[in-house]
């Protein structure tokens, strides 16, 4: 098996973080990990935002998050356990992660509101 790449905190960049979290699925994965009380397996995320995510695609999302320095992954048997590096990133870039996650939440709420309005317009 290939070794997992975890960049040192000094090698984590704002650009890398923004790129990794620019994908809505990766942002959703990261938000779930950030609020969880412990490590989560990749299999915990086979369904995100009412969509089924293929395991191969999920692996690529976790790799992008890991290589951006946002998560730490550890193999235990056939499972991969993932945790965020929120506290480390907060020390390096204070307020960055909460701001990004809040912006994604605002965007998601706005999208849901528009979807409901469009549904009402079709019904009426």
CATH number at residue 97: 1.10.10.10
Q: What is the pLDDT of residues 90-111, one digit of tens each?
A: 999 999 999 998 998 898 888 7
Is residue 4 included in any domain, yes or no? no
Is residue 96 included in any domain, yes or no? yes
How many domains does the structure of the chain reveal? 1
Structural domain that includes position 79: 9-123
Is residue 68 included in any domain, yes or no? yes
Is residue 21 included in any domain, yes or no? yes
Is residue 2 included in any domain, yes or no? no
Buried/exposed code over 74-96 (b: 16+ C-beta within 10 A; e: otherwise): eeeeeebbbebbbeebeeeeeee
Is residue 3 included in any domain, yes or no? no
| Helices and strands counted in the chain (H then E) | 5, 5
Which residue, 101, 73, 71, 97, is CA-closest to 14? 97
pTM summary value: 0.84
Q: What is the pLDDT of residues 43-91, one digit of tens each?
A: 888 888 778 999 889 999 999 999 999 999 999 888 899 999 999 999 9
Is residue 1 included in any domain, yes or no? no
Is residue 42 included in any domain, yes or no? yes
């Amino acid at each position: 098996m290939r070794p997992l790449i975890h960049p040192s905190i000094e090698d984590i960049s704002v650009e890398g973080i923004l790129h990794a979290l620019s994908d809505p699925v990766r942002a959703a994965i990261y938000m779930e990990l950030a609020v969880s009380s412990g490590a989560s397996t990749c299999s915990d995320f086979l369904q995100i935002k009412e969509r089924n995510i293929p395991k191969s695609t999920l692996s690529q999302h976790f790799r992008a998050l890991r290589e951006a320095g946002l998560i730490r992954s550890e193999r235990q048997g056939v499972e991969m356990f993932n945790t965020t590096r929120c506290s480390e990133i907060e020390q390096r870039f204070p307020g960055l992660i909460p701001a990004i996650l809040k912006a994604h939440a605002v965007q998601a709420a706005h999208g849901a509101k528009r979807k409901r309005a469009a549904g009402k317009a079709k019904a009426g």
